[in-house]
Amino acid sequence: MIKHFMRLLCLVCLCIPTPSSSQSSTTADVLFILDASGSMWQKMDGEFKVVIAKSVLQKLVDGLPDNTRAGLIAYGHNRKSDCSDIETLIPLGNVDKTAFSDKLKALNPTGMTPIAMSIKHALEHIQNEQKSVTCILVSDGLETCSGDACDLVRQAKAKGVQITMHVIGFGLAENDLSALECIAQAGGGQYLPAGNAAELGKALEKSIEQPPADGGYLSVGVNLDGKRKDALVKVYKKGEKDELVAGRTYDGASTNPRIFQLPAGIYNVEARAMRMDDNPVKVFQDIRVQGPDTTVLLADFTQVVVEVQVTRNGALSDATVTLLDPVTKKTVSQTRTYRGAATNPAKFRVLPGAYQVQIKGIEIEGAPVKVFDRQEVAAGKSASLSHDFSSGELRIGAMQSGAFVDAAVQIYAKGNNQNIAGGRTYMSEKTNPKTFVLEPGKYRVDLQPVKPKGLNKKSVEVEVTANGVTEQTVEW
């Protein structure tokens, strides 16, 4: 039912006059363009989209003030494969709620999705209107006929047609909805997604709200390496957790920068880059919007290079390298250096800013970590870090009268008794003595014999030196 309603609403051009200070009592004019194409028979939450759309739209109309002027256009409801199947079901005039109910009930989704031609039809229908008009397009699909709906709206605005165009996308799964979002932006309105009946109802209610008299515009452009970059932009009223409006910029000039009409106030803005590793975010805080000005923001995702080389005793060493936000300690990016020049130093492409760098030496028992607390990387610059881990070898043998002893080995740091490593000697010259790579220092080594049975546990103290080899054989 929701799907049906969304498609119907997409076709309905909601025309609402913008009130001025001298016309605060002006009644909104509402012209719905409803998508009634064949796809509205798809189901959503177990109900047909068309059923949902009819129910939600009728509920909205029933709640309109009696002095509201409203009209209804639908497309795709009479014939298959006919892009001209567009009809004014109820001319714009004093709202007739019974007529709306009758027309909605009679709709039978059948045909195509001629969005551009439907908008042209709606513009011709309201061309003689003297009031400002807000058009709301509700669709559950993209254009399946010819024409450029975005350009039609843009040309109408340029010619002085006083319209505001909102678009409601009903249950749309496509990744690229720039064609629909462009229509809303060109018409000075919003693109509002709706994934169920409740969201559809909220989107419709929001779309018929008249623009704030003291409002202004917020323009958010997103770039990467000098080119437009797709991003999801969310706008929050300062102090609130739920976004007020949201939209994608995509990478075309028609939607990037993304423009929002907002009430006068202070806002926080978040731009999250799409199709980039870790989806980096740019945040703008305490942004003031006030009419008639346009507040302009640019989120630049051009990246900088951070190189981290890791060695052990002077030779390239395998390690994990992690870049974190120094405040939240959340991981920004992570990789391994391995031991080859192709990957060591590790190279990161990240946004300019401050990072904590953690290097974990995975070739050394206990995986010691080197931390660079705060590394600033400025735009247009690069950063290079290096760390050399120092280590030595400890070889622990277990013997009895010239024969191998299979023993479980545990190594503890002397002083804090931290368990650093463990292993077994077994009864083979390949594993006995057992070799451990450790940081230089003093250790306690416990050996618990497994074979032969009946031998007692033994402990020894050893010292490992940098780049040296310490050998210790325990005899029973």
Domain that holds residue 219: 212-301
Same domain, 130 and 146: yes
H or E element in which residue 265 lies = strand 265-273
What residues contact residue 85 under an 8 Å CB cut-off, 6+ apart? 75, 76, 77, 78, 79, 110, 111, 112, 114
Long-range contacts made by residues 145-149, C-beta under 8 angstroms, separation at least 24? Answer: 145/83, 145/112, 145/113, 145/114, 145/115, 145/116, 145/117, 146/83, 146/116, 146/117, 147/114, 147/115, 147/116, 147/117, 147/120, 148/116, 149/115, 149/116, 149/119, 149/179, 149/183
Question: φ, ψ for residue 16 (rounded to 5)?
Answer: -130, 125
Same domain, 353 and 223: no
What residues contact residue 209 under an 8 Å CB cut-off, 6+ apart? none
Q: Assign residue 297 the CATH number of its domain.
A: 2.60.40.10
Number of domains in the chain: 4
Of 161, 179, 211, which one is at a domain's C-terminal end?
A: 211
Same domain, 318 and 356: yes
Same domain, 199 and 221: no
Distance CA 18, CA 29 (A): 10
In tens digits, what is the pLDDT along the chain, a chain of 476 residues? 334 333 433 343 443 333 333 333 344 688 899 999 999 999 988 999 999 999 999 999 999 888 888 889 999 999 999 999 999 999 998 999 999 999 999 999 999 999 999 999 999 998 888 888 778 888 988 999 999 999 999 999 999 888 888 899 988 877 789 999 999 999 888 899 998 999 999 989 988 887 777 788 999 999 998 999 999 999 999 999 999 999 999 999 999 999 998 999 999 999 999 988 778 899 999 999 987 889 999 999 999 999 999 999 999 999 999 999 999 999 989 999 999 999 999 999 889 999 999 999 999 999 999 999 999 999 889 999 999 999 999 999 999 999 999 999 999 998 888 999 999 999 999 999 999 999 999 999 999 999 999 999 999 999 999 999 999 999 99
Distance CA 61, CA 295 (A): 35
Same domain, 375 and 236: no
Of 369, 389, 409, which one is at a domain's C-terminal end?
A: 389
Instruction: Give which of 86, 131, 89, 138 is closest to 111, Cα–Cα.
Output: 86
3-class SS of residue 36 = coil
Instruction: Give which of 167, 122, 10 is closest to 76, Cα–Cα.
Output: 10
Same domain, 330 and 462: no
The pLDDT of residue 18:
39
Same domain, 369 and 257: no
C-alpha atoms less than 13 angstroms from C-alpha of 91 in its C-beta half-sphere: 6
The pLDDT of residue 15:
39
> Terminal CA-to-CA distance of the chain, rounded, Å?
82
Torsion sign across C-alpha atoms 224, 325, 340, 380? positive
> Could you tell me how far CA 361 lies from the centroid of its own chain?
33
Same domain, 156 and 20: yes
Same domain, 234 and 124: no
Same domain, 383 and 398: no
Beta-bridge partner residues of 297 = 220
The pLDDT of residue 138:
85
Same domain, 63 and 86: yes
State the helix-helix crossing angle for 197-207 and 49-62, rounded to 10 degrees: 40
Question: φ, ψ for residue 212 (rounded to 5)?
Answer: -65, 135
The pLDDT of residue 132:
80
Beta-carbon count within 10 A of 134 CB: 27
Of 361, 389, 417, which one is at a domain's C-terminal end?
A: 389
H or E element in which residue 373 lies = strand 369-377
The pLDDT of residue 28:
64
Same domain, 86 and 124: yes
